Amino acid sequence: MEYQGVVTVLEAKNSFRRDFAIYQLFHPFKFYLSQSAKYGIPITEVNACYVLKQTGRGRGQAMPKTIVRLYLYRFDDPDRLDSLSLVRKAEYRLQRR
């Protein structure tokens, strides 16, 4: 996703996981940085969003409950895979009206 020069790379999974492979965020991050330099595209920032979704029924619930967790990361050093840092996170519980 891009908005006013800020590119957000998204990686989504269909269940809650304790950890993930950082390179799943790092390689797309590096790609967009290189495109900016290669083609002169005015990208001011590239960050990465890791999205987790889980759907299930609680006890006594007729409708399934969906929980979405979003984690926004950035790489402090664009040349180091281990420079990943969490910017912010959020959790949403979706309900049918």
Based on the structure, what is the number of domains in the chain?
1
pLDDT in tens, 45-90: 889 999 999 887 666 666 678 999 999 999 999 899 899 999 999 9
- Helix, strand or coil for residue 92? strand
Enter the pTM of the model.
0.80
Domain hosting 12: range is 2-94
Compute the distance between CA of residue 32 and CA of residue 30 in angstroms, rounded to an integer. Answer: 6
CB atoms closer than 10 angstroms to residue 78: 13
Please name the residue that has the structure tokens 């969490």: 86
